Amino acid sequence: MILTDYTFEELKEQPIFSEEKPFRIKQLLRWVYTKLEFDFGNMTDLSKEFRGKLKENVKIIPLEKINEIHSFDGTTKYAFRLNDGFAIESVLIPMNEGKVTFCISSQVGCAMGCKFCKTATMGLLKNLKVSEIVGQVLLLKKFAKLKEKQKFNIVFMGMGEPLNNLKNVLKAIDILTDEKMMDLSPRRITVSTSGIIDGIKKLGEYPKKVRLAISLNAPDDSLRERIMPVNRGNNLKDLIRVLKDYPLPKRDRITFEYVMLKDFNDKKEHALKLYNLLKGLKYKINLIPFNPFPESKYKKPDEKTVLEFQKVLTDRGVNAIIRKSKGEDISAACGMLASKNKKE
């Protein structure tokens, strides 16, 4: 069995733990999720007999690091191989004031087909298991050398569409936010989606209120359909309607991500249409100048165009931030993740 596939309540029901008292399981989980110790032999407050049984029957993390690349800005991209041979990528992003964000994948590849995203060129190869999601977080936390109580943020913005693997993503979030496990606040977790309406509704019903981000990228259906096939079954009118009903905590806002493509969606008139589209919502906008990759026909707009677009929004009171992509030089920025070999 793989430990990180299970919640605390589920672990208590597993045969290997049936004769152990709950506090023993809590000790084990503290070693894994707090101390980041993945060798049972080093868990010294567990009996030798218990450690031996664990070593023989339990695996903690079903992925291994096969590569890491460092950017000049401090960002690090990791490639992990899964037990079945597939590879995924995750990113460790340093933020201001010593904070850190983990960009996590939810699938191998992606089925959404967004024209500005390198991951889309892979197609969908598989959904990640719970342990393959949780395992990324554990390894990135260990690689970041964070202190036991040091907080961090998680964004589901890596490879894949999280809402197309929602069952496993939510269970992973349950594990990561459980006080007996990772004990991370749900407010430190952001789930980013291309706008799958049914999935957004289900996420809104989830009792742990994580943050929501929408990859929007166009102010009308005709433009959006040209770069995001998902729009054909999830049009903007229906998307905005469900977002107006989304149960946001009082202080929270929906984040809209807007990838700016040169001479496509980057004009002042696009900014004005975007403002009118989002009226009535509590939101902020991240403007993301496109990160080019060889397979794409799109280009990055110049700085003047981006600033003029931003001004249209800020002049109308919108919190619109130009997001400087980190890790672009190592293909770790937004929309650039894709394992070179689908399976080795």
| CA–CA gap between residue 150 and residue 141 (Å, rounded) | 10
Among this protein's residues, is 89 annotated catalytic? yes
CB atoms closer than 10 angstroms to residue 180? 17
Residues 257 and 117 sit within 8 Å (Cβ to Cβ): no
Residue 147 lies in a domain: yes
In the block, residue with structure tokens 């793989």: 2
Same domain? 292 vs 312: yes
- What is the CATH classification number for the domain harbouring 221? 3.20.20.70
Same domain? 118 vs 264: yes
Same domain? 181 vs 155: yes
Show pLDDT as tens, one digit a residue, over the chain (344 residues): 999 999 999 999 999 887 788 899 999 999 999 999 999 999 999 999 999 999 999 999 999 999 999 988 889 999 999 999 999 999 999 988 778 999 999 999 999 999 999 888 899 999 999 999 999 999 999 999 988 888 999 999 999 999 999 999 999 999 999 999 999 999 999 999 999 999 999 999 999 999 999 999 999 999 999 999 999 999 999 999 999 999 998 889 999 999 999 999 999 999 999 999 999 999 999 999 998 888 788 999 999 999 999 999 999 999 999 987 654 555 444 545 555 544 44
Residues 108 and 93 sit within 8 Å (Cβ to Cβ): no
Q: Give me the domain span that covers residue 10.
A: 3-57
Among 57, 72, 93, identify where a domain stops.
57
Same domain? 34 vs 138: no
Rounded to 5°, the CA angle 276-282-283 comes to 75
Residues 67 and 79 sit within 8 Å (Cβ to Cβ): yes
Same domain? 249 vs 158: yes
Rounded to 5°, the CA angle 251-194-339 comes to 115
**Number of domains making up the chain:** 2
| CA–CA gap between residue 175 and residue 8 (Å, rounded) | 8
The structure's pTM equals 0.92
Residue 37 lies in a domain: yes
- What is the CATH classification number for the domain harbouring 48? 1.10.150.530
Kind plus residue range of the DSSP H or E element containing 307? helix 303-314
Same domain? 42 vs 77: no
Residue 344 lies in a domain: no
| CA–CA gap between residue 67 and residue 337 (Å, rounded) | 14
Same domain? 172 vs 30: no
Residue 320 lies in a domain: yes
CB atoms closer than 10 angstroms to residue 11? 22
Q: What pLDDT sits at residue 324?
A: 74
Same domain? 40 vs 142: no
Among 12, 41, 57, identify where a domain stops.
57
Give the sign of the dihedral formed by CA 272, CA 278, CA 281, CA 282. negative
Would you say how long the chain is, in residues? 344
**Marked catalytic residue, from 89, 161, 257, 328:** 89
| CA–CA gap between residue 10 and residue 13 (Å, rounded) | 5
Q: What share of the chain is helix, strand, coil (3-state, %, to 5)?
A: 40, 20, 40
| CB proximity list for 205: less than 8 A, separation 6 or greater | none
Residue 189 lies in a domain: yes
Q: What pLDDT sits at residue 329?
A: 57
Q: Closest Cα to residue 282, out of 240, 324, 315?
A: 240
Residue 157 lies in a domain: yes
Radius of gyration from C-alpha coordinates of the chain: 21
Same domain? 85 vs 114: yes
Same domain? 68 vs 206: yes
Residue 144 lies in a domain: yes
**Marked catalytic residue, from 110, 114, 117, 334:** 334
| CA–CA gap between residue 24 and residue 73 (Å, rounded) | 42
Same domain? 117 vs 38: no
Q: What pLDDT sits at residue 342?
A: 47
Among this protein's residues, is 110 annotated catalytic? no
Q: What pLDDT sits at residue 134?
A: 98
Q: Closest Cα to residue 119, out of 130, 129, 107?
A: 107
Residue 337 lies in a domain: no
